[in-house]
Amino acid sequence: MQLVDILHETKTALSANKARSGLTILGIVIGIGSVIAMVSIGQGASGQIQSSIEGLGSNLLTVMPGFLQPGRGIVSSGRGSAQTLANEDIEVLQQIAGVAYISPEFQRRFQIVASGNNTNSTVIGVNPDYAQVRNVSPAAGGSFITEAQVRSLGRVAVLGPTVAQDLFGEGNNPVGKTIRINRANFKVIGVLQSKGSAGFFNPDDTVFVPLTTMQKILAGADFLSMIAISVQDKNLMPQVQEEALLALAQKHRVDPQSPDFSIVSQADILGALTQVTDTFTIFLAAVAGISLVVGGIGIMNMMLTAVTERTREIGLRKAIGAKKRDISLQFLMEAVVLTSIGGAMGIILGWAIAFAVSKIAGIATAVSLNSVFLAFGVSATIGIVFGYYPARRAASLNPIEALRYE
Amino acid sequence: MIECKNISKIYQSGNIETHALKNASFKIADGEFVAIMGPSGSGKSTLMHILGCLDTPTSGQYFLDQKDISKLSDEELADIRRGKIGFVFQSFNLLPRATVLRNTTLPLVYAGISRERREELARKALQGAAFPEKFWNHRSNQLSGGMMQRVAIARALVNNPTLILADEPTGNLDTKTGEVVLETFQRLHKEQARTIILITHEPYVAGHAERVIHIKDGEIISDEKNNQQVIIKNNATS
């Protein structure tokens, strides 16, 4: 029997009972559609997290005081309490090949006052390289901390947009105005462009001052809360991380196996977060997958009914010379065509749902080509799996009994 | 050429054995028009199933064109049916939603014959069964019983079989349309020298054949030439 003939039979059989075929297809449409939509929401979320992590600065290594136990996650309770990073460590790190910029940072929360307004915010002491490393830039009309200001303990500050708004109100340009941090006056020289929150850190709600000013005037301590290292090339990351670990361990005279600091790469942070979103995606897909299985059972139910209804027809076909293979192929093809139509429509539906979700709810979604192919493959497989038993039953009917069937 | 040698068929359900056929032996030459007649339960259906290669005998041998087919597997039997047997059933057994042409070509579909060739053979078969051309593209469930049976005859003819087996072909038809069907068989027998086996319980229907085999309780009780063959005048056609 040729494929065209099988398809012709399939078309006739499926169009004979349009309502039933339609409802069966609907089951698959809902199944595939929800899988596509759910996976797209999950992948969209992970894509969003990835881009906001990368937005923190590219090819970044972060050296933090205190030792993070592997497997204990990236949120350290001891962070900031350990005082093991010092200004001298910068020079050691600068010797390492492949390092582009180094940004030592000292951060602490202070009360900030300006023109009668009050806010409690994070103040970070930085060097000019911070802008390159962390991917921040001042809005038009302002500037970032300069080398000269760092050297001269300049009392200048760059505001994050949220802080600027809290202190000076919307629409007012704070550049040139004076703010008080911990009872010291600072001149505002710039406001950063808005970046949005990234994970646990919101660069918009921050005030930047020169590192020297921070250490000597505001905090009165000369350790660092972290050192950010920007690496020239992504491929050099592991190598630089390794060398930085050894160099700092030697400088601190500690065992590299249990140093008094830790170096976290962006890949580590990303890995931890994608693990979360992957779990989330799998959970959503599993819930949607259940409806797909229910749809498959619908297919099987319909095919079993069809086999019973068409017993005499099967008997006739066998009497005029159809082999088992011909009969089972015919019924299998019906199931596969049903699921394929359902799969194609489900992909469109899932796509539409993903689009609607991102439009209405504002959740990022991403329909990947992979999930489309996967969904189509899954629906065809469901056709074969759930169509196999009815097809085999049809093929194994005895022609004499089938012809007598009332 | 058909030859049955001591064919027996025993159905077993639990401990009860039913002897549906007991040592049936006969020969049917090519081009014969034979009626197998007997009351219900006589074993004529069992005989038809064996002759039509739908079933195999419990013992004995059945030769179709010198080939012993009594020990073949289901799949081998399907091959034989496809090439050598044409069935006409009491209840027509057409595909209701398919056209007349499609119904007629169905056996050729399983034989893997090209579409053009199928159409050609179907036309010839439909003409042979005297089926009017204007209904060729009608769906078979739009036809009358007599018309349906002629489509079924065309379907039985289309693969140019050695043997046409008609199981109570007039059973669902009134006398007049029944006669048209019987006339079609007689004409096919005469004009195309077809071998036709007619299975019936009605002596009147059997009277249209050249030779009548009586069967009762699974045994052949008589096998003789029909001297009073009813010849239908060629006037009832279409």
DSSP-derived secondary structure for A272-321? HHHHHHHHHHHHHHHHHHHHHHHHHHHHHHHHHHHHHHTHHHHHHHHHTT
Q: How far apart are CA A220 and CA A215, in angstroms?
A: 5
Q: Which residues, other chains included, contact A285 with Cβ-Cβ below 8 Å and sequence gap of 6+?
A: A35, A38, A39, A42
- Asked whether residue A214 carries a pLDDT value surpassing 60, the answer given is yes
Residues of A within 8 A of B159 (CB-CB) are 320-321
Measure in Å the smallest separation between the Cα of A401 and chain B Cα atoms: 10
Residues of B within 8 A of A326 (CB-CB) are 110
What mean pLDDT is predicted for residues A199-215?
A: 83
| Residue-level pLDDT at A326 | 94
Residue with tokens 């504002």: A362
- pLDDT, tens digit (0-9, with 9 covering 90-100), for B130-159: 899 999 999 999 999 999 999 999 999 999
The segment with the largest mean pLDDT, out of A68-82, A175-189, A372-386, B22-36, is B22-36
| Residue-level pLDDT at A313 | 94
| Residue-level pLDDT at A79 | 47
- Asked whether residue A74 carries a pLDDT value surpassing 70, the answer given is no
Amino acid, single-letter form, for residue A219: A
| C-alpha pair distances (Å), A402 with each of A12, A307, A310, B156 | 21, 11, 9, 19
- Domain segments of chain A as ranges: 3-52+272-404, 83-259
What is the 3 state secondary structure string of B25-40? EEEECCCCEEEEECCC
| Residue-level pLDDT at A262 | 85
Residue A351 sits at the vertex; the CA angle it makes with A348 and A356, to the nearest 5 degrees, is 125
Q: Using CA of residue B30, residue B93, residue B104, residue B76, what is the dihedral sign?
A: negative
| Residue-level pLDDT at A81 | 56
From the centroid of its chain, how far is CA A47?
Answer: 4
Residue A381 neighbours by CB distance under 10 Å: 14
Residues of B within 8 A of A306 (CB-CB) are none
Mean confidence (pLDDT) of chain A = 86
| Residue-level pLDDT at B238 | 44
**DSSP class per residue in A74-93:** S--TTTTT----BTHHHHHH
Residue B90 structure tokens: 């009491």
Q: How far apart are CA B133 and CA B101, in angstroms?
A: 10
Residue A336 structure tokens: 């596969």
CA distance from start to end of chain B: 32
| Residue-level pLDDT at A280 | 86
B78:A317 CB<8 A: no
A321:B81 CB<8 A: yes
Residues of A within 8 A of B87 (CB-CB) are 319-320
Q: How far apart are CA B14 and CA A279, in angstroms?
A: 58
Residue with tokens 């006056």: A185
How does residue A198 score in pLDDT terms, banded at 50, 70 and 90? low
- Asked whether residue A80 carries a pLDDT value surpassing 60, the answer given is no
Helices marked H in B129-237 — which ranges? 145-157, 175-192, 203-206
How does residue B167 score in pLDDT terms, banded at 50, 70 and 90? very high
For chain B, counts of helices (H) and of strands (E) = 7, 10
| Residue-level pLDDT at A389 | 95
Respond yes or no on whether ipTM tops 0.95.
no
- Asked whether residue A71 carries a pLDDT value surpassing 70, the answer given is no
**Treating both helix axes as pointing N-terminal to C-terminal, what angle do A3-16 and A324-360 enclose, rounded to 10 degrees?**
60
- Asked whether residue A237 carries a pLDDT value surpassing 80, the answer given is yes
The verdict on A317 touching B (C-beta cutoff 8 Å) is: yes
B107:A318 CB<8 A: no
Q: How far apart are CA A322 and CA A318, in angstroms?
A: 5
- pLDDT, tens digit (0-9, with 9 covering 90-100), for B79-109: 999 999 999 999 999 998 899 999 999 999 9
Contact A192, A235 (CB under 8 A): no
What mean pLDDT is predicted for residues B74-81?
A: 93
Q: How far apart are CA A159 and CA A143, in angstroms?
A: 10
Residue A172 neighbours by CB distance under 10 Å: 12
- Asked whether residue B186 carries a pLDDT value surpassing 90, the answer given is yes
Measure in Å the smallest separation between the Cα of A29 and chain B Cα atoms: 28
Weakest mean pLDDT among A4-8, A376-380, B123-127, B150-154: A376-380
Element (H, E) at B86: strand B85-88
Q: Which one of B110, B157, B165, B168 would you mutate to disrupt binding with A, by most A Cβ within 10 Å of its Cβ?
A: B110
Looking only at the bridges linking them, the beta strands covering B163-167 and B196-200 are: parallel
**What is the pTM (predicted TM-score) of this model?**
0.74
Largest CA distance in chain A: 105
The verdict on A2 touching B (C-beta cutoff 8 Å) is: yes
Contact A104, A227 (CB under 8 A): yes
Looking at domain B32-46+84-225, what is its CATH homologous superfamily?
P-loop containing nucleotide triphosphate hydrolases (3.40.50.300)
Order of strands, edge to edge, in the sheet holding B2-13? B16-28, B2-13, B59-64, B67-68
- pLDDT, tens digit (0-9, with 9 covering 90-100), for A336-359: 999 999 999 999 999 999 999 888
Instruction: Name the more confident of A319 and A57.
Output: A319
- Asked whether residue A260 carries a pLDDT value surpassing 90, the answer given is no
A400:B82 CB<8 A: no
DSSP state of A146: -
What mean pLDDT is predicted for residues A27-41?
A: 91
Contact A291, A217 (CB under 8 A): no
Residues of A within 8 A of B49 (CB-CB) are 400
A322:B110 CB<8 A: yes
What mean pLDDT is predicted for residues A120-148?
A: 87
DSSP state of B232: P
Amino acid, single-letter form, for residue A247: A
SS3 A141: coil
Contact B46, B216 (CB under 8 A): no
Q: Which residues, other chains included, contact B166 with Cβ-Cβ below 8 Å and sequence gap of 6+?
A: B87, B88, B156, B185, B196, B197, B198, B199
DSSP state of A192: B
Amino acid, single-letter form, for residue B205: V
| Residue-level pLDDT at A69 | 55
Q: How far apart are CA A205 and CA A15, in angstroms?
A: 63
- pLDDT, tens digit (0-9, with 9 covering 90-100), for A359-373: 888 878 888 888 888
Contact B83, B111 (CB under 8 A): yes
| Residue-level pLDDT at A205 | 87
How does residue A26 score in pLDDT terms, banded at 50, 70 and 90? very high
From the centroid of its chain, how far is CA B225?
Answer: 20
Instruction: Name the more confident of B110 and A71.
Output: B110
Measure in Å the smallest separation between the Cα of B227 and chain A Cα atoms: 33
Instruction: Name the more confident of A109 and A115.
Output: A109
| Residue-level pLDDT at B234 | 61
Looking only at the bridges linking them, the beta strands covering A206-210 and A156-159 are: antiparallel
Q: How far apart are CA A294 and CA A396, in angstroms?
A: 26
Contact A136, A203 (CB under 8 A): yes
The shortest CB-CB distance from A320 to any of B82, B97, B115 is to B82
| Residue-level pLDDT at B59 | 93
Q: Which residues, other chains included, contact A11 with Cβ-Cβ below 8 Å and sequence gap of 6+?
A: none
Q: Which one of A2, A9, A11, A320 would you mutate to disrupt binding with B, by most B Cβ within 10 Å of its Cβ?
A: A320
Q: Which residues, other chains included, contact B94 with Cβ-Cβ below 8 Å and sequence gap of 6+?
A: B103, B140, B141, B148, B151, B152, B155
- Domain segments of chain B as ranges: 32-46+84-225
